[in-house]
Structures are given as structure tokens and as C-alpha cells.
Amino acid sequence: MASSLPPLSIRLTQVLGLTTTSILVGTSLEMSYLFVPRILQSPPDLLLRQWARMYHLMKKVAPSMASVAGLAWLYLAYRTPAKASQYIAAGVLNLAIMPYTVIFMLGTNSKLLALEKRQNLGTLELGEDGAISGAGALGTQGEVGVKSETVHSLVDWWGVLNMGRSALALASAALGTWMVVN
């Protein structure tokens, strides 16, 4: 009697794609829905340090996870031509996280990272409400902020933008799961 199961390499790649994508979804959602709201309760100087620590850790982890998951889905597209278009879509959704970050989040990331740099140099002046003041509060060429921005508003906006990455990963996970079970 012939086995109806796909080959082991396909099943293992499905597990890799589902697991990695699901971890990415959970991590991304956790940042926007749990981490950011908690750190927004912190004073501006602490908030900036907490966000920066999370950012520096996740910039190493998240792109790797998105790449592994995306490549797993693309491998499945190559190996299972009957489901290729759906697997390609799942792969592209995962890989789209990186250009999404550059297109939609780079400005906010750059502002927060520039503030972190100024904080580390001791040249950042923050009001009690987190308002950014001092030299470079307005400007171009690496200077940050606009008068109405605060550290809190920048981190809060970062959390909103991050939900877009979560949505891409969630769509990839849902599509990948559908393809695996059908």
C-alpha cells in the first residue's frame, strides 16, 4: 500500500515554515501589544533605553526568522508545483517584512536611534513629558524630531507600524497552515 504522506523533506520543511513563521508572528505581536504598552509607562530616558535594547536584539533575530520561513515556503513551492502559487505567496509575505521595515519604519527607527545615540553621548535634552529639545530637535542630515514629537509618541508610533509586520507574518502563517493541512 502506497503512503499518502508527502516525502519527509517536504514534511520537515512544512514544520520549519510553520514553526518559524508562527514564532515570528508571536514575537512581533508581543512587541506591539505587550512590550510597547508596558514601556510607554516609563519615563522618557528609560523608555528610550528599553526600546533601544529591544530593537538591537530583534534586528538580529527577526530578519533571520523571516528569511528562514520565507525560504522554507519558497522551497515548498519549488517541490510541490500543484501548490506553488500559494507557497510563493506565503514566502513573499514573510520576505516582505524586510522591505516593509525599510519603507514604513526606517524614519521612526532612525529618529529613535539618533535619540539613543544622543542619550549615550549625554547631549539629549528631554522635557518631563518626553519632549525632545536642545540642538538637533529639528532638522535634517541625521538630526531628529519635530517639536511636537516626544520619545513616547515615537515609540508608540513604532508599535503601530510594527503591527504591519505582524500582519504580513500572520497572513503568511495562515496561508502556510492552510496549504499544509489541505
Using one digit for the tens of pLDDT, what is the confidence trace for 17-62? 999 999 999 999 999 999 999 999 999 999 999 999 999 999 999 9
Which pLDDT does position 138 carry in this prediction? 38
Q: Is the pLDDT of residue 140 over 50?
A: no
Q: Is the pLDDT of residue 142 over 60?
A: no
**Backbone φ and ψ of 75, nearest 5°:** -65, -40
Residues 173 and 176: their CA atoms lie apart, in Å, by 5
Using one digit for the tens of pLDDT, what is the confidence trace for 90-127? 999 999 999 999 999 999 999 999 999 999 998 888 77
Instruction: Give the dihedral of Cα atoms 92, 53, 51, 46; nearest 10 deg.
Output: 180
Instruction: Give yes or no for a contact between 62 and 27, defined as CB atoms under 8 angstroms apart.
Output: yes
Q: Is the pLDDT of residue 81 over 80?
A: yes
Residue 131's beta-bridge partner residues? 150
Instruction: Give yes or no for a contact between 161 and 110, defined as CB atoms under 8 angstroms apart.
Output: no
Which pLDDT does position 4 carry in this prediction? 84
